[in-house]
Amino acid sequence: MGEAYEDLAPQPFAPPPPEAPPPPPINEGGPIIPGSKKWRMIIILLGTALPLIFFGGGMASAFAFLNSSK
């Protein structure tokens, strides 16, 4: 029962780490043009919706064609 109690003594607090500088702002998508967010949204929506519509239509017509041939 002769343990040393020095390691149970409260340790002094370490100094707080130096505060990191904030990261530089990220310029998304090149130059900032007024109204470019709207056009970017339109392009993204068209780029996702049109292939889905065409692919879905092609799949539906192929499925109908395969089911019709007996």
Domain positions in the chain are 35-70
Residue carrying the six token digits 């109204």: 35
In degrees and rounded to multiples of 5, residue 53 shows phi and psi of -65, -50
In terms of pLDDT, which residue wins out, 38 or 70? 38
Whole-angstrom CA distances from 64 to 10, 49, 59 are 77, 22, 9
pLDDT at 67 over 80: yes
pLDDT at 21: 74
Which tokens belong to 51? 């292939």
Residue carrying the six token digits 């949204």: 41
pLDDT at 49: 86
- Model confidence pLDDT, tens digit, residues 9-65: 666 777 777 777 777 666 666 666 666 778 888 888 888 888 888 888 888 888 888
pLDDT at 31: 61
